[in-house]
Amino acid sequence: MKPNLGITDKNLKAIHELLNNALADGNMLYIKLRKFHWNLAGDNFMELHQLFEEQYNALELSIDEVAERISTLGGTAIGTTSEFASASQLKENPGKVPTNQEMLKELVSDHETIVRALREMIDDIEEKYEDKGTADLLTGLMQKHEKLAWKLRKYFKN
Ligand SMILES: [Fe+2]
């Protein structure tokens, strides 16, 4: 049964696509955090091992909220790694294990990329596509990524 929520079909379609992009970014970063959690070595091993785990657990929850929002709005959430890779703007580096410092830098940068993408998305979804519910969900998600980025950025003095 089609939802009748006061959002036009055309707008819903655009929102589904934007949310699938956010879902793809979340999943790409989730996978990267797991890889880094598994492959850390040296200084701060256990601390970073736990920090990365805390972050991918946080992402697991937010990814689910985004996917279920797509379904709530009558859309289909993508759910394969190849779709995630093509819909995401985050980059993977297969076969490479960065140093702990490089991991931290890359993760900060990925969170910030997501924050910037969400900020733009929120404006469009609220103003152009008139969906305050999704704008609110994504605003919370953006704040979550801002905080996750902060916890990693603090490993650098300047
Ligand atoms: Fe683990």
Q: What is the pLDDT of residues 90-119, one digit of tens each?
A: 999 999 999 999 999 999 999 999 999 999
Q: Where are the domains of the chain?
A: 9-153
How many whole angstroms separate alpha carbon 64 and alpha carbon 77? 10
Alpha carbon of 53 to ligand 1 centroid (Å): 7
Calculate mean pLDDT across residues 44-70: 98
Q: Calculate how far, in angstroms, residue 52's C-alpha sits from the geometric centre of ligand 1.
A: 9
Q: CATH code for 9-153? A: 1.20.1260.10
Cα–Cα distances (Å) from 140 to 32, 69, 122, 144, in that order, read 22, 13, 10, 6
- pTM for the structure as a whole: 0.97
Average pLDDT, the chain: 97
> What is Dmax (Cα atoms) for the chain?
55
Q: What is the mean pLDDT of residues 65-93?
A: 98
Tell how far the Cα of 46 is from the centroid of ligand 1, in angstroms.
11
CA 3 to centroid of ligand 1, rounded, Å:
40
Q: CB of 72 within 8 A of CB of 3? A: yes
